[in-house]
């Protein structure tokens, strides 16, 4: 990867931590639609924004290698201190939930579900990310009637237009995810429409405003400490947030491992591959609950059920 010759784009030293492919496969986790801020910058290397920093990650045998690029503000080095080694590792362990032993879960799911046992060997190391709740929520509002490549492009435009620039990696500028205040201006919805968000523009700006004027970012993060049903109920009161988006945020940002996001694909799998007669003729809230309950019952303790998604 060629770097722009500026102090703000210089990487820290490469560091690594033990992480075999059975615990994590970057290519399967970062490209499958959980997050939309990573791209394969060179074969086997993934570059993206995590928190307020730009990272490059790669895997080599049983180790996860990582480096972080210095931030900049208005073309000058930022005053914020660079991350130290211990903090880098803490962030990665938290983001990838590396304290959860994945092979043991795979064995438990395989024992409970013959279909999972059959396909699991082709998809090792698929784990649920633990994301920032605001970024996860606003990103998944953009997933309605959409596909991964288009969502990724939308989130990139969102960050370029509303987020603070972090650094350049030639020829690309990287930006932080926008703050709530950046998305609550009087012209935010209009600007989002101009960026191609369509009807989602009012939901993104409306939810940003509702959080800013209500829970706040810390209050949203605080939903990690409440029961799943309560967190889901609160999320579903926000503009543009239905059962599926709420479950995605519960699972991928709010520590609700029992959440099972249900869309038409999951519904079809439940009916065709498991023979489950669920959900009636449309994906109503009742259908979401029935299908989620079916998979929670199939895979064992609710604490572990959603981690498979």
**241 contacts 235 by C-beta, under 8 angstroms:** yes
Alpha carbons 7 and 72: distance in angstroms, whole number: 9
Alpha carbons 45 and 53: distance in angstroms, whole number: 16
Helix 133-141 with 148-162: angle, nearest 10 deg: 120
Helix 243-253 with 285-299: angle, nearest 10 deg: 40
Q: Which residue out of 71, 121, 202, 244 is catalytically annotated?
A: 244
**12 contacts 83 by C-beta, under 8 angstroms:** yes
Rg of the chain's alpha carbons, rounded to an integer? 20
Q: Is 118 a catalytic residue?
A: no
Q: Which residue has the tokens 């959080």?
A: 211
The DSSP bridge partners found for residue 16 are 65
Contacts of 71 (CB under 8 A, 6+ apart): 8, 52, 53, 54, 77, 78, 80, 166, 167
Enzyme catalytic residues: 244
């Amino acid at each position: 990867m060629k770097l722009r010759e500026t102090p703000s784009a210089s990487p820290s030293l490469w560091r690594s931590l033990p992480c075999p492919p059975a615990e994590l496969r970057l290519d399967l986790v970062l490209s499958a639609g959980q997050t939309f801020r990573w791209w394969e910058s060179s074969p086997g290397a993934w570059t993206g924004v995590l928190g307020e920093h730009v990272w490059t990650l790669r895997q080599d045998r049983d180790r996860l290698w990582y480096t972080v690029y210095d931030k900049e503000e208005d073309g000058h080095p930022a005053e914020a201190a660079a991350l130290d080694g211990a903090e880098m590792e803490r962030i990665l362990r938290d983001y990838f939930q590396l304290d959860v032993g994945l092979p043991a879960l795979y064995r438990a799911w395989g024992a409970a579900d013959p279909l999972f046992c059959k396909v699991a060997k082709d998809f090792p190391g698929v784990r649920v990310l633990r994301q920032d709740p605001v970024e996860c929520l606003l990103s998944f509002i953009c997933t309605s009637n959409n596909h991964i490549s288009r969502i990724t492009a939308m989130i990139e435009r969102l960050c370029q237009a509303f987020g603070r620039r972090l650094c350049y990696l030639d020829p690309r500028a990287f930006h932080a995810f926008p703050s709530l205040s950046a998305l609550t201006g009087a012209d935010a919805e209009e600007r989002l429409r101009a960026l191609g968000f369509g009807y989602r523009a009012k939901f993104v700006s409306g939810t940003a405003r509702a959080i800013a004027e209500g829970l706040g970012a810390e209050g949203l993060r605080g939903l990690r400490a409440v029961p799943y049903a309560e967190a889901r109920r609160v999320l579903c009161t926000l503009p543009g947030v239905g059962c599926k988006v709420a479950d995605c945020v519960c699972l991928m940002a709010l520590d609700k491992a029992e959440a099972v996001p249900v869309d038409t694909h999951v519904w079809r799998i439940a009916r065709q591959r498991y023979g489950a007669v669920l959900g009636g003729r449309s994906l109503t809230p009742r259908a979401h609950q029935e299908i989620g309950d079916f998979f929670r019952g199939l895979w064992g303790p609710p604490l572990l059920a959603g981690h498979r998604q």
